[in-house]
Amino acid sequence: MLDYSDLLTKPTRTRLDKRLRADQPGLSWARVRAAIERGQVTVNGAVERDPGADVLSTATVVFDVNRPAVRPARSRFGRLYEDEHILVIDKPAGLLTIPVDKDDGASEDTVLSRVREYMDRRRGPGGYVGTLHRLDRDTSGALALALTREAHEAGRAQFGRHEFHRQYMALVEGVPSPAIGTIDAPVAEGYTAGRRRLAHPGEAGIPAITHYVVRQAYGSGAALVELTLDTGRQHQIRLHMQHIGHPVLGDRVYGTPEGAEAAARQMLHAWTLSFPHPITGVRVSVEAPPPDDFIRMRARMRGWR
């Protein structure tokens, strides 16, 4: 098992979004994060717009619904590939792919809104942007978007035919055994309060297949795992790793309480992405290097004993 003693000795710090949700249980996770990002939450009197900011339990956290919402600042994103029809970015953790609030999507900070602003600057207003697939908010890495309607239509059809080859890396609780395996467990249709589940025996479900390879096992009882998807279901990797008893570190939805507290976000990164260009047919292949927080977490696990 993982040794979390060094973390549990500091129980007075928590993420701002988690603290606000505990203080305001009537708010959804989406509303909590939106309020923070819009500058409607203060910590000890100062506006804090980072949902993942660490706050002490003694800090005064105030949500003021009457505080004028500020349009979130759009931080830059790394471009891994770009042409007239396709853009592949390196999505940072903590950023939604598309808006949660359809009625207020223009002010919500998402991949879609950032890329639209970027394309407005490049090509002028009124250009087309559409997502070809999605990544969870707290998953980082390679994400493809279409910059023309024809590329979007063709690209979505390719994704539906499973022509997008994707590899992920994850830091997980425990060490999967065997070290190489395939998880074939259908995902149930339902989606409740931000959670999905696997289909029960005999229940109709959506096919979901994940292949994994343990790349490094740590003395702390954790592992670096490489994952390849045959299918692309929402929360598929997180559900499948929970299913085999090795949830992703930092996963507050599907992980154990200890594992959830071990990292500021789920340690899941979309490492490589490869697919036929929807217009030219030439293969597009990119690699997104792991972000700093992933590298730091991996270094910490090497040092745990």
Highest mean pLDDT of the ranges 16-25, 124-133, 159-168: 159-168
Residue 17's H or E segment, with its range, is helix 16-23
* pLDDT of 159 higher than 70: yes
Tell me the CA end-to-end span of the chain in Å, nearest whole number. Answer: 10
For the chain, what is the mean pLDDT? Answer: 87
Alpha-carbon distance of 135 to 298, in angstroms, equals 21
Q: Give pLDDT, residue 199.
A: 92
Q: What is the pLDDT of residues 264-301, one digit of tens each?
A: 899 999 999 999 999 999 999 999 999 999 999 998 88
Q: Above 70 in pLDDT, residue 8?
A: no
Say whether pLDDT at 9 is over 60. Answer: no
Residue 31: alpha-carbon gap to chain centroid: 17
Count CB neighbours of 101 within 10 A. 12
What CATH code would you report for 78-303? Answer: 3.30.2350.10
Question: How does residue 305 score in pLDDT terms, banded at 50, 70 and 90?
Answer: very low
Residue 6 has pLDDT above 50, yes or no: no
167 phi, psi to nearest 5 deg:
-120, 140
Lowest average pLDDT, out of 47-51, 168-172, 221-225, 286-290, goes to 47-51
Q: Are strands 209-218 and 54-56 parallel, antiparallel or unpaired?
A: unpaired
C-alpha angle 183-185-190 in degrees, rounded to nearest 5: 140
Query: Using an 8 Å Cβ cutoff, are 263 and 248 in contact?
Result: no
- φ and ψ of 126, to 5 deg: 95, 0
Does the pLDDT of residue 76 top 80, yes or no? no
pLDDT at 71 over 80: no
Say what the pLDDT of residue 127 is: 85
Query: Of 27-41, 102-116, 148-162, which one has max mean pLDDT?
Result: 148-162
User: pLDDT, tens digit, for every residue of 29-60?
Assistant: 778 888 887 889 999 888 888 777 778 888 89
What integer pLDDT is reported at residue 181 of this predicted model?
97
pLDDT in tens, 228-273: 999 888 899 999 999 999 999 999 999 999 888 888 899 999 999 9
List the catalytic residues.
136
- The domain limits of the chain are 10-63, 78-303
Does this chain's domain 10-63 share its CATH topology with 78-303?
Answer: no
Q: Does pLDDT of 115 surpass 90? A: yes
* Radius of gyration of the CA atoms of the chain, in A: 20
Please report which confidence band the pLDDT of residue 87 belongs to, taking 50, 70 and 90 as the band edges: very high
* Of 101-110, 164-173, 285-294, the least confident: 101-110
Q: pLDDT tens digit string along 122-131?
A: 888 888 999 9
pLDDT at 81 over 90: yes
Tokens of 32: 């909590």
212 or 4, which is more confident: 212
The pLDDT of residue 106 is above 70: no
pLDDT, position 3: 53
Write the class of the CATH domain 10-63.
alpha beta
Decide if 114 contacts 58 (C-beta within 8 A): no
The values of phi and psi at residue 140, to 5°, are -100, 165
- Note the pTM of the prediction, 2 decimals: 0.76
Contacts of 102 (CB under 8 A, 6+ apart): none
